Every structure is written in structure tokens, then in C-alpha cells.
Structure 1
Amino acid sequence: MKTLGIAATGMLAQQTNVDVIANNIANANTTGFKSGRAAFQDLIYQTMQREGALTSEDGTARPVGTDIGLGVQAAGVVRLNSQGGLLQTENPLHMAIEGRGFFVLNRPDGSQAYTRDGGFQLSSEGQLVSLSGYEVEPAIVVPQNTRNIEINQEGLVMAYIENDPDPVELGQLTLATFLNEAGMKPIGDNLLEATTASGEATEVSPGDPGIGAVRQGYLENSNVNIIQQITDLISAQRAYEMNSKAIETADQMMSTVNQIK
């Protein structure tokens, strides 16, 4: 009887499913967070009777076979990169991307990371940095005595210094895009990094065709749908219980067989 092993794989799969759902719910208020969905695949099948096998000397063939599946396995966690809602903060250093693209950050080891979290601040040297202290690429340094900062939808950063009525251009923000955004690796701190699955980053300008625009004074909310997550959680719980019930049923059937004399 293969039921014990099959149902056990189902329970393990639902444990993974619940882990993903729990992480989504936990990050419902995380800036720029993208929810995930656990994807599954059925395991290899054991063929008891082959499809198309002859059933008589007259040439009749079996229309269907007897293929017994051996359970399920997790194929991966698919990140859903749909747009999150925009939250107005009125902080001139906060930025949200409305559309495709990622902000680029330089890490201390020289590598680059990517994020949708535009909750930027200034370092002690006046450089634009993330909440983890990573410098925004390209570097934007805000001079002292700056009274106002303006960032347009194309990512052009301008500063009004002291009483000068004319703004000073500080730099042009760029974004990064990937052929397969779902293939990027999450590394924590609202950061992602490129992988062979995602492909190399392509540098683009905000507002280009098919590229998101920068919204100053806004942050992008998580795209987690709490109602959907609760529904998925209940469904996963029921599936787990049914797999557990299948194990109990198989155990009872085996006990019945053992009692036959």
C-alpha cells in the first residue's frame, strides 16, 4: 500500500504552503513586499497497466492505463510582482515606482542589490541611502543648507539651496529591469539580487516606455491580499487534514488485513 508515503508527501507540501502563506501575512505591511505562491508538481507514476496495450487477439487495445501517482513535491515559490498601492508620506526623500523597475543599491562588498522599497534617508555625509545604509546608485549627494528637494517622474533630482531661486541638479536616478523578475533571489532587508535565472540587470530611465515612473513623497505598499491569504490558509489546513485522514485510513486497512487469520 503506497498511501502512507503518498499522503506524507501531501502533508509536507502543505507545510511548505502554510510557511509561504505565513510569510505573506507577516509582511502585509512591509514596504514594497511582493507576495509569494507555493507551486507544486506531482511525483513520478508507477504504471500497473500500459495505455494502448492489446487486450485481445483481435487487436483491441486498452484505452486508458493504470498509472498510480506517488505524491507531490514543491517545485518552487513564485513571487507575484503585481503593483502595490501607493502610500503618501510627504517625505521628499521617499520614492515609489509606479510600474516596472527596481532601485539599485551598492552594498559594502561592491555588489549590487535591488529593491522596490524607496524609503530613503540621508547619511551623515548627505548621501542618499536605504534604511540599511546602502548607497543608492547612481550616487546622490544633497548639499548642506538645502531647503527643498524635488524629484520628477523621470528620476531627475534637484535641490533648492538656501535662498537661491534656481534649483541645482544633483543627479539622475536610474532603475533596473530583468527579463525574469520572478527569478531574482530575495535576501532579506527588502532586497533582491540577480541570479542566472533572472538574467543580468538592464539599466533604464524612469518613465521610459514600459518602465515605471518615480513618485516622490510616496511609498509602495505590500501587494499582499489578506483576504486571499486567509482563504488560502484555510484551504491548506483542510488539505493537510485530509492527507492526515488518508494515513489514518490506510493504517486502519492494514490493521484489518493483519487481523485476518
Structure 2
Amino acid sequence: MHPALWINQTGLSVQDRQLMATSNNLANVSTYAFKKDRAMVVDQFYREFRQAGAQVDQQNNLPSGLQMGTGARVDGMQKVFTNGNIQTTTQALDLALVGQGFFQVQMPDGTMGYTRNGQLQLNSEGVVVMSDGLPIEPAITIPAEGTTVTIAEDGTVSVTMQGESQPQNVGQLTLVNFVNPGGLKPKGGHIYLETEASGDPVEGVAGENGMGIIRQFALETSNVEAVEELVNLIMIQRSYEMNARAIETSDHMMEYLIRNV
């Protein structure tokens, strides 16, 4: 079997993974707070036939070696946590994070999840939750008598009660950040989970110690650039075609040798 067949097969696998990442990005181009995926592609190990610097005779060494590559592979899929654009809305519980940080979400098993999605709602008890019912931490409860909800840039939540002019403080939303956000595990539903690679969550007040600020009546859009992803699709297609053509050429060469040698 000609080695080029195996090498170009790895190229096809890489482009397939690249296509999956790009397709997922495009599918979420209008998903609020979505962070795009980027495939981390590396070359594979090399077969060494001649070592650089090896001694040829008593006086001379080889100026270069002879190593043959064995293809490429996808070594990881990285989330790119650049900020998306900010879109203004008319909902008081729509929150956008401008800068670094994540909201905390209590998972069904009691552990913590993390999200940048600020499409918040109230459940039947007036608790601030995500669209799937998971409560935000620290827990914030909006009284039924409240008429106006105000959320400051530092996460302070105030409610103006019916018949009153002065707002009441009902809690404060805090944020967390990670040394390596790219190491978080995406769970789906806008939720990320802590891993060994991400490091421990560091909790803080919005707008302090490098944390982003919270903006009410706004949502963070996806950071996917549709034009960029479409260009990537063209590059992936061309790369796939070239690898497929190289496999076809290797096959023809082997066929020629079998018939004529």
C-alpha cells in the first residue's frame, strides 16, 4: 500500500472535522451568546530515514536529515471566547455581558454550570431562571408586587413596588471567570462546565478585577462571522478535493506499476 494513500486519508479526516466545526458555527450564527468553534490541526509524527547531523565519514556530517511526514490530525476543538455584538431589546431580564465573565447556573444535580446567555425569565415563584428553568446563582427573587426591575452594571437588582417610588434592593448577580475559558466543557443549552483545564472559577463583582459589566435590555449576539465561515467552507472544499485527487493519483500510480512491472 502506498504511504500517500494513508497520508491523504488523514487529510480527508481533518477536512471532515473542519467541516463539522464550520457547519456548527453557521448553524448557530443567530444563536445569542454562542461562541464559535475552531479546530486545532497539527501534523502527525515523522518517519526518520536519515538523521540531520549524522556522520557521513571521518570529516563530514549530513547538513540535513530525511524525515517523511505521515499526515495531519485534529488535536482539539477550541471555543473562541471573543465578545459578540450587543443587541438592544425591550425585555427587562435580557442581560448582556460586556467583557469577560460568566453567569452561574445551578444544575439539576446541584453542581454549577456557567453561561453567557442573558435571556432570563421568571418562574412561577418569581425566581430568575434560564429558559429551561435552571435558576441563576446567586438566587434572585422578584416580588409579585414589583412593577419595575432595574439591574445595574455591577449586577445589583432593584425592584420598584406598586404604589412606591423608591426601589428596593433584592440581590446582586455576581460573575465568575476562569484562567482558561477555552478549557471549559460545552454541554449544550448555552451551558459550560468546569474542567481541570479551565481551572477553578473565580467569583467577583461585575466591573471589578477584570470582570465585564452587565448591560440590561440587551443581549450578546453570536461571535460567528458568516462571511468568514463561508470562506472557510470554500477552503475546506478545495483542500478536500486536493486530498481526494492525491489519493486518486496514488491509486493510478500503483495500478501502472502493477501492470507494467
TM-score, length basis structure 2? 0.98
Where 1:105 maps in the other structure, the secondary structure is strand
Partner of 1:43: 44
What RMSD in Å do the two structures reach over aligned CA positions? Answer: 0.8
* Deviation by residue 1:160-210 (Cα, 9 ceiling, x = unmatched): 000111111010110010000000000000110100110111111101031
Partner of 1:93: 93
* Cα distance in 2 between the residues matched to 1:108 and 1:227: 38
Give the letter for the 1:258 counterpart.
I
* Cα distance in 2 between the residues matched to 1:55 and 1:252: 37
* Cα distance in 2 between the residues matched to 1:257 and 1:56: 36
Please list, as runs of the form range in 1=range in 2, the aligned pairs for 1:1-261 lying within 5 A after superposition.
Answer: 1-57=2-58, 59-261=59-261
* Cα distance in 2 between the residues matched to 1:121 and 1:157: 14
Q: How many angstroms does 1:62 deviate by?
A: 1.1
* Cα distance in 2 between the residues matched to 1:117 and 1:22: 21
Give the letter for the 1:40 counterpart.
V
Give the letter for the 1:217 counterpart.
F
Q: How many angstroms does 1:56 deviate by?
A: 3.2
Where 2:131 maps in the other structure, the secondary structure is coil
Q: How many angstroms does 1:50 deviate by?
A: 1.2
* Cα distance in 2 between the residues matched to 1:43 and 1:180: 26
Where 1:236 maps in the other structure, the secondary structure is helix
Where 1:118 maps in the other structure, the secondary structure is coil
* Cα distance in 2 between the residues matched to 1:12 and 1:197: 26
Give the letter for the 1:34 counterpart.
K
Q: How many angstroms does 1:75 deviate by?
A: 0.6
* Deviation by residue 1:7-57 (Cα, 9 ceiling, x = unmatched): 000000100000000000000011100101101111111011111122334
Where 2:35 maps in the other structure, the secondary structure is coil
Where 2:245 maps in the other structure, the secondary structure is helix
Give the letter for the 1:89 counterpart.
T
* Cα distance in 2 between the residues matched to 1:45 and 1:246: 19
TM-score, length basis structure 1? 0.98
Where 2:20 maps in the other structure, the secondary structure is helix
Write out the 4+ residue segments of structure 1 that deviate beyond 6 Å after TM superposition: none
* Cα distance in 1 between the residues matched to 2:111 and 2:86: 29
Where 2:251 maps in the other structure, the secondary structure is helix
Give the gaps of 5 or more residues in structure 2.
Answer: none
* Cα distance in 2 between the residues matched to 1:249 and 1:109: 55
Where 1:245 maps in the other structure, the secondary structure is helix
* Cα distance in 1 between the residues matched to 2:134 and 2:48: 56
Where 1:249 maps in the other structure, the secondary structure is helix
Where 1:192 maps in the other structure, the secondary structure is strand
Give the letter for the 1:71 counterpart.
G
* Cα distance in 1 between the residues matched to 2:209 and 2:106: 26
